[in-house]
Structure 1
Amino acid sequence: KWFTIESDDFDVFQDKLIKHIQERINNNDFNKNNIQVSYKIN
């Protein structure tokens, strides 16, 4: 399952990404050993 997180500000993006991953882990939404992140900077 892939999620999209977008922001024009890298600090905001970083904050959103960390919170998102923590929420997924807390909800046991995925195996902690199988997390992939891809990102694009325009």
Structure 2
Amino acid sequence: KEKVKNKYPEAVFSDDARKDIEIMSYNASGRADEIKIGSIRISGT
């Protein structure tokens, strides 16, 4: 959480850590293409 906040200070997190990380999409090889961490979306590659 702190590493993400250091790089993305605008990120907002909920009280439930299980809801803060979600894989939004996968690429053709099955790897994470886009990940949502807190309120931000980042590339999975």
Fold shared per TM-score above 0.5: no
Greater relative contact order (Cα < 8 A, sep 6+): 2
Is the helix fraction higher in 1 or 2?
Answer: 1
Query: With structure 2 as the length reference, what TM-score do the two structures score?
Result: 0.25
Is the strand fraction higher in 1 or 2?
Answer: 2
